[in-house]
Structure 1
Amino acid sequence: MKIPMNDGWGFIEEFDRDLLKAEFDQESLQPVRIPHTVAETPFNCFDESIYQKVTGYRKVIRPEDSWRDRALNLTFEGAAHAAEVYFNGELITTHYGGYTAFTVDLAPYIRFGKENILVVKLDSRESLNIPPFGYVIDFLTYGGLYREVYLEVLPKIHLKDVFVRTEGVLKEEKIMIAEMTLTEFKDVEGNKSEGQNSVKAVFSLRHHNTLESRELGRAIIEEEKSTHRFIIKDVELWDIENPNLYSLEIRLDNREEAYDFPFGFREMKLEREGFFLNGRKIKIRGLNRHQSYPYVGYAMPKSPQVLDADILKDELGLNAVRTSHYPQSKHFIQRCDEIGLLVFTEIPGWQYIGDEKWKEIALQQVEEMVIQYRNHPGIFIWGVRINESPDQHEFYKEANKIARVLDPTRGTGGVRYIKNSELLEDVYTYNDFSHEGNNSGIEKKHKVTSRKKAPYMVTEYNGHMYPTKAFDDEPHRRAHALRHAKVLNDIYKEQDVLGGFGWSMFDYNTHKDFGSGDRICYHGVMDFYRNKKLAAEVYASQQEKEPVLALSSSMEVGEYPGSIRGDLYVFTNGDEVRLYKNDRFIKGFTQEQSPYPNLPKGPILIDDVLGDRLEEESRFSPGKREDLKKALLAVAKHGPNHLPLSVKLVALKLMLRHRMSIEEIGKYYTQYIGDWGQEATSYSLEALREGRVIARIEKKTMKSVDLSIKRDRKNLVEEETYDVATLRIQAVSESGNLLSYLAEPLIVETEGPIEVIGPKVLTLRGGMTGTYIKSLGKPGSGKVTIRLDHRVKKTLDFTVEVMKREEGMRIL
């Protein structure tokens, strides 16, 4: 029986040993629910020391008689970063590391018929001698019991761990191997059990989609560790397009409750020639993800974690994610399994390697990571180096050994920025920040490592090389997008590069030593609330599930110096686009014309906004029209003062041969391109696939403001803990175009059993913002009203459902 332990906690900002006393007044503490952060932070411009402290959590438990003679395994999924757990005043365990779970058995310490006091002393200071601490870090580490807590009431003899792995999955008869670890045959007090020295196990296989279940076999188990091998036919493989999941169900001694271990049948190979999934070569296309959110840092429950995975797969069109720079929520990883998103996960750390004690804890974190995550089929590689750290032979030799012993089915990698680093892992993983906007997207593999036969993967690119805010001007946002396009294009070009992970999915809070001075790194292709910047469209356009059509310009001439728009780019997953001006067809452009030919769907350059419009000048000869068009388009791209020599010669030809003055050429520019002197100019684009229009956008001067609110759910369902809905908000015109420079406040009001996480006055940044709506533990209906001064009012309805908790516990 699994009992959520996320309600009924009391919190104090400075730990006090009086918390350990039974007579301590629980009501004097701040009531909190888990996940919880030790300090809510502003969106930006704050001192990160506000969460770096030693805090206390306290909970009162009265056990039921049904718990007698049972193991009582209490699990903390994430406690940042050093946790001392006390039960009835006694220290029962200490855990170092905020990114992996830990479990302690309460049975030896519990007192039946009395109140039991559970206390956690939590140290979130960055002075701790554990990873990732020791030097500067380019992300905030926050603090709190930020992932869920639960209690499992289990028989004395129960399963501690099962590792499910598969072999020969491309054959008709596939092999599934279950490596089981039982508790020792001892009683609760730790004495050798006299009554039971074996258990009967029944193994079944269940498909997650069809729920079809079949028995695989039975066994009598007499040892703590055992291995069970099954030959299985007629199962479907886990793949990024069809992520078929199965569960191995194990029932011990005919008990009613079965153990459930999700996994997938798949074959992954990391080779010099590429990454192969079930025999098919796949170019890895991913982004790096931090697990942080505005205001509450790491402390978010299941729904926002699931949403991030869905955004990566469905909105950004990716097939992979790197959990930089630490293991992340089981909810996130499980969702990646469900939707077919590959995962590169790694141990905590950032550049620094500490002393022997520090390294001992790091190696323990390797072990915890692999054991806790190895049944997830989406994970394709273990990161066993500290991100961007120097070589340390013995340390990394041991880290690789631990990972390979615990999981011989996956390769190892270690993210580095060093060329020709010692390679103890299976894959040379390298952060390539060589692209500067006008050079190759990535370096050649042979310039980075001499290990020609080793698989090679780019693990970070762009990011700090070109920070971009959602409220930067259009030329900056366009350049940001094209940098991502260039690097991704060159990754696709190189056959000996497995793929790459861009930096990063979204903007994030950082330390004073990094970012833009406001505690934010604006390195994302999305903003902190997960609203798209233009660069996100580079990735989104690589998928074909949902139509994508975005233009790099608002077409407002006043946005550009000298009214020179420069190059225009379209990001689309269509085969071609058609450009219209004032509803008149100008020209069509195809994917074959993209300057990024290696991408499945490269950005399309719109290099002709004239089309055949000069045909209206019937008195011009064809040659004169052609020369005039070249000159006008060149001025539109470069401006009159920066024309290439070849265009200057064309202009000279117009003046000498065709007898046109500079003033006359300027008149035609204004008439056909400059949009000056025209009462209303609009542009529209259509994206087509196989001759059918799949998307259409219109660019014209705005007349009114609206709010586009994208929410992931309107029904909040409390299962293990509170639920959270994410609202992503954009200010748009009547044509649906983002109003990037609208920076007014939004007022948020709630009614019913819900509340806002963070401030109730939101700031539009780059025309975008967001908020989070949290359930309060009571069922019912709620409303959220969002106002933009007197111009816009939006009301959203919500319902809250509270699921019945497991029986057997009362929380006081």
Structure 2
Amino acid sequence: MKFFRLASQYHFLLFLTIWTFLSACQEKKNLPSPVSNFNQGWEFVKANDTSWVAVTVPHTPKVEPLVVNDQWQGACTYRKRFSLKKIPNEKVWLEFEGVMNNATVSLNGTELIKHKGGYLPFVVDLTKQLKEGENELVVKVLNVDDPTIPPGKPLRKLDFNFYGGIYRDVNLIRKKKCYITHPVVAEKTASGGILIHFDTITNEVANGSLQVHIRNEFDSERDIYIEASLTDEQGKRKKFKAEEIELSAGEDKEIIVDLTVKKPMLWSPADPNLYDLKVMLEVDGDLVEVMEKRIGIRKINLTEKGFLLNDKEIFMSGTNRHQEYPYVGYAISNEANWRDAVKIKNAGFDFVRLSHYPQDESFLDACDELGIIVMDAIPGWQFFKKGEFTDNAIQDIRDMVRRDRNHPSIFFWEVSLNESEMSEAFMERANKVLNEELPFNDTYSAGWLDHPAYDLFIPARQHGEFPFYWNGYKDGKRSVFISEYGDWEYYAQNAGFNQTAFEGLKEEERTSRQLREAGEVRLKQQALNFQEAANSNLKGKGMGTIGMSNWLMFDYNRGYADDLETSGVSDIFRLPKFAYYFYKSQRPADVDIKHSLAEKGPMLKIASFWNNKSDSIVRVFSNCEEVELYHNGKFIARKKPEINELNDRLISPPFDFNLGKYIHGVIVANGYIDGEKVIQEEINTAGLVTDLDVSIDYSGIPLSTEDPDIVFVYAKGVDEYGYFNERFDEEVTFELEGKGELIGNNPVKAKAGIATILYKSVPGDTTFNISAKSKWMYGTLKEIDH
């Protein structure tokens, strides 16, 4: 019995020891992130002003008018007073994700860094100047024309705007003095931070490696151990380990972890499967750092026969995107970037070209998650200059790749200055640098000039000749991706690049540049232009063309113009035009898209407002096999699409119905697949507006609770039966109850039946109400807590 009691006590103590050990391990493996939010608590002042204003970043120095033809440029200063407990043997940095476009950072009166460039991150080491108690950080920002900083061209001659300020997130990074480096700070080719790549991929197994760059800033040697894990979306986890190494004082080294994944879940636009990568760094037996990232496994291959994704040929159809919002320019939330990506996916696109600069990494995260293929791009447009400008453009390539290289959505790297007469030396140098940074067989460069240095030739459609453009192009070396189409060839009839000298060529009902309020006839023409051009591009499939991206997704401002560029399939407020639904109809109804925010299945849209200005030919966009139409209960027809030279290559040509003489009332369209009715839409001739329907566009992404968020608020004019009336054009006044602010003209005149304003939220407080009124009409949100 005595032995039994001793044994029981021993087992209890052993159990207690194991439990304590496991608890400690569990605690260690859930270390807080070394990166934290540093966006709040700033103050701001413009040059020559004396009053500091409390702000939160992302921030714009000036809220601009809707049409920006005199954008603010100049100098401004941000400062932040903060206290941070100094911890022995700790390093402290600040990461600025985007400051436009020349920044000088000082801490406690000591200048730490000067940085040129507005679209990519830079990192400041605060460690030596940081002190106990209050610290003062000062960031001087200069946003003026500078021919040494890409895109280089003066704003007044530029086809887009670059807005000033600290317009992206600022992150505080705290790590032990032996740490995983930041890829931009490390400034090492094909190194820094973590780099993951799979060299061989089949349906059975994926083999690759994880490279982790470690730096030891202790004054003595340290024992280093790396453990990584990949967890799939079903929760299945696999661990990978590296051999323990010794790192001398001041030494840095890449540690390679071999990866083997059996039965990999491959990434594709329809199935954007992702893995949770966790990298754990142990120093002298203690877990000191955990890094986490979402990654994907996919096999891409650019061949002479076409483009293969996971060994299957695909033809990519997408769009271009500028990151600008009305009024606030670039200073938008991560959630706002996500909402744009959701809209692009749900417009039927599986590809986006980042025109013409690297965009916020949150947008890339969204593309990873939603299944949108990306062409990443360095800043550039119709400007080239030897010397410091080209050196900075080359550095942009390195910084862009180092920031973005682990995103599975990025298939192509546009290391080309868009529509710029680049030198031979620059193109060769740009491609050499890309291949140095990504020394893999599936690294593909893209350039707008047909030069052998580039893997992919990306001309705009208008760079070719009517009527064939790029159909049939193939020189045996490069495939073609039509990077822009649907706008310029209809606007200027191939007048060339001098966009300011051919204004007289604009034909109002021919151009693709149409405001959403331009009316039914012109919106239908815009959609037809995109349809015609897309159909023509598809004739090049199998003859060198591997994909296309229209110009473009959202309307935007230009530095040289006093009007909006309106060839977007949605307007600047993200409201869709008819062309949006044309593209939406090109996604097959039977494609099962995995992400919950991605729309799928049958779609149908009647492209008409059905009023006395409507065309008697009613067009219906649908991915159904057949559509039937009723007018005021009368059967008009049930038909398949009529095939002609403008739609014979489309997945789903539109349906046209002749209703003859206009009679007001209701139109009902039914869509059929395999003989069964699967979808219905109804539109009505609207009466006088009697109410305002107020809504907020979340696109499935809730308001941020950490940072200020920005969403669009719409007030739609509806009649007594709730039917939308696109002719409503009265002034609307928005009123806010609760915290936050409304941004934009207020009151604002409704356009095509809808008045729009921006709402900027307050972190941590999502209880508010927004109402709208116009003369005798009044509307309010249905719920209070958002």
Once residues 426 and 629 of structure 2 are traced to their aligned partners in structure 1, the CA distance between those partners, rounded to angstroms, is 58
Offset of 1:425 from its aligned partner?
A: 0.8
2:237 aligned residue: 213
Asked if the contact 2:93–2:124 (Cα under 8 Å) also holds between the matched residues in 1, the reply is yes
Asked if the contact 1:387–1:414 (Cα under 8 Å) also holds between the matched residues in 2, the reply is no
2:77 aligned residue: 56
What amino acid is aligned across from residue 165 of structure 1 in structure 2? Answer: H
2:582 aligned residue: 538
Once residues 128 and 603 of structure 2 are traced to their aligned partners in structure 1, the CA distance between those partners, rounded to angstroms, is 59
**1:574 has 2:624 as partner:** yes
Q: Which secondary structure does the structure 1 equivalent of 2:113 belong to?
A: strand
Work out the percentage of aligned pairs sharing the same amino acid: 27
1:689 aligned residue: 673
Partner of residue 329 from structure 1, selected from 354, 360, 364: 360
2:650 aligned residue: 599
2:480 aligned residue: 456
Offset of 1:767 from its aligned partner?
A: 2.4
How does 1:83-122 map onto structure 2 within 5 Å?
83-112=103-132, 114-122=133-141
Offset of 1:733 from its aligned partner?
A: 5.2
Question: TM-score, normalization: structure 2?
Answer: 0.84
List per-residue Cα deviations over 1:122-177 (Å, max 9, x = no partner): 11112352101234210111111010001111010111111111122215231121
CA-atom RMSD, angstroms?
2.5
How does 1:381-396 map onto structure 2 within 5 Å?
381-396=412-427
Asked if the contact 1:784–1:796 (Cα under 8 Å) also holds between the matched residues in 2, the reply is no
Structure 1: gaps of 5 or more residues: 17-24, 188-192, 560-564, 610-672, 801-812
Q: Which secondary structure does the structure 2 equivalent of 1:601 belong to?
A: coil
**1:127 has 2:162 as partner:** no
Offset of 1:486 from its aligned partner?
A: 1.2
1:298 aligned residue: 330
List per-residue Cα deviations over 1:424-445 (Å, max 9, x = no partner): 1100111112799xx7474424
Structure 2: gaps of 5 or more residues: 1-33, 182-192, 492-510, 590-599
Offset of 1:732 from its aligned partner?
A: 4.6
1:506 aligned residue: 554
Offset of 1:358 from its aligned partner?
A: 0.7
What amino acid is aligned across from residue 781 of structure 1 in structure 2? Answer: T
What amino acid is aligned across from residue 668 of structure 2 in structure 1? Answer: S
Q: Which secondary structure does the structure 2 equivalent of 1:535 belong to?
A: helix
User: How has the CA–CA distance of structure 1 residues 474 and 149 changed in structure 2, closer, same or farther, with 3 Å as cutoff?
Assistant: same
What amino acid is aligned across from residue 426 of structure 2 in structure 1? Answer: F
Asked if the contact 1:435–1:483 (Cα under 8 Å) also holds between the matched residues in 2, the reply is no
What amino acid is aligned across from residue 47 of structure 1 in structure 2? Answer: D
Offset of 1:541 from its aligned partner?
A: 1.1
Partner of residue 380 from structure 1, selected from 411, 416, 433: 411
- Between the two proteins, the alignment pairs up a number of residues equal to 693
Once residues 81 and 125 of structure 1 are traced to their aligned partners in structure 2, the CA distance between those partners, rounded to angstroms, is 8
Partner of residue 698 from structure 2, selected from 693, 705, 712: 712
Question: TM-score, normalization: structure 1?
Answer: 0.81
Once residues 302 and 441 of structure 1 are traced to their aligned partners in structure 2, the CA distance between those partners, rounded to angstroms, is 41
Asked if the contact 1:531–1:768 (Cα under 8 Å) also holds between the matched residues in 2, the reply is no
Offset of 1:475 from its aligned partner?
A: 2.1
Once residues 355 and 469 of structure 2 are traced to their aligned partners in structure 1, the CA distance between those partners, rounded to angstroms, is 20
List per-residue Cα deviations over 1:687-744 (Å, max 9, x = no partner): 2233214022234353545545352179965454223333345435567765333221
Asked if the contact 1:705–1:734 (Cα under 8 Å) also holds between the matched residues in 2, the reply is yes
Asked if the contact 1:753–1:777 (Cα under 8 Å) also holds between the matched residues in 2, the reply is no
Once residues 107 and 48 of structure 2 are traced to their aligned partners in structure 1, the CA distance between those partners, rounded to angstroms, is 15
What amino acid is aligned across from residue 116 of structure 1 in structure 2? Answer: N
1:616 aligned residue: none
1:203 aligned residue: 228
What amino acid is aligned across from residue 627 of structure 2 in structure 1? Answer: V
1:647 aligned residue: none
Once residues 91 and 799 of structure 1 are traced to their aligned partners in structure 2, the CA distance between those partners, rounded to angstroms, is 45
Asked if the contact 1:249–1:260 (Cα under 8 Å) also holds between the matched residues in 2, the reply is yes
Larger Rg: 1
Offset of 1:246 from its aligned partner?
A: 1.1
Offset of 1:681 from its aligned partner?
A: 4.9
Offset of 1:68 from its aligned partner?
A: 3.0
Asked if the contact 1:714–1:798 (Cα under 8 Å) also holds between the matched residues in 2, the reply is no
1:490 aligned residue: 536
User: How has the CA–CA distance of structure 1 residues 167 and 64 changed in structure 2, closer, same or farther, with 3 Å as cutoff?
Assistant: same
User: How has the CA–CA distance of structure 1 residues 541 and 181 changed in structure 2, closer, same or farther, with 3 Å as cutoff?
Assistant: same
How does 1:401-550 map onto structure 2 within 5 Å?
401-409=432-440, 410-416=442-448, 421-433=450-462, 440=467, 442-446=469-473, 451-464=475-488, 465=491, 466=511, 467-495=513-541, 496-511=544-559, 513-514=560-561, 517-518=562-563, 520-543=564-587, 544=589, 545=600, 547-550=602-605
1:790 aligned residue: 776
What amino acid is aligned across from residue 697 of structure 2 in structure 1? Answer: R
Once residues 553 and 799 of structure 1 are traced to their aligned partners in structure 2, the CA distance between those partners, rounded to angstroms, is 35
User: How has the CA–CA distance of structure 1 residues 717 and 693 changed in structure 2, closer, same or farther, with 3 Å as cutoff?
Assistant: closer
Partner of residue 12 from structure 1, selected from 17, 39, 45: 45
User: How has the CA–CA distance of structure 1 residues 535 and 729 changed in structure 2, closer, same or farther, with 3 Å as cutoff?
Assistant: farther
Offset of 1:783 from its aligned partner?
A: 1.0
Once residues 461 and 715 of structure 2 are traced to their aligned partners in structure 1, the CA distance between those partners, rounded to angstroms, is 33
Once residues 99 and 412 of structure 2 are traced to their aligned partners in structure 1, the CA distance between those partners, rounded to angstroms, is 25
Asked if the contact 1:699–1:737 (Cα under 8 Å) also holds between the matched residues in 2, the reply is yes
List per-residue Cα deviations over 1:774-798 (Å, max 9, x = no partner): 2223536211112233224122434
**1:266 has 2:298 as partner:** yes
Offset of 1:295 from its aligned partner?
A: 0.6
2:271 aligned residue: 242
Structure 1 stretch 773-782 or stretch 783-792: which is displaced more?
773-782
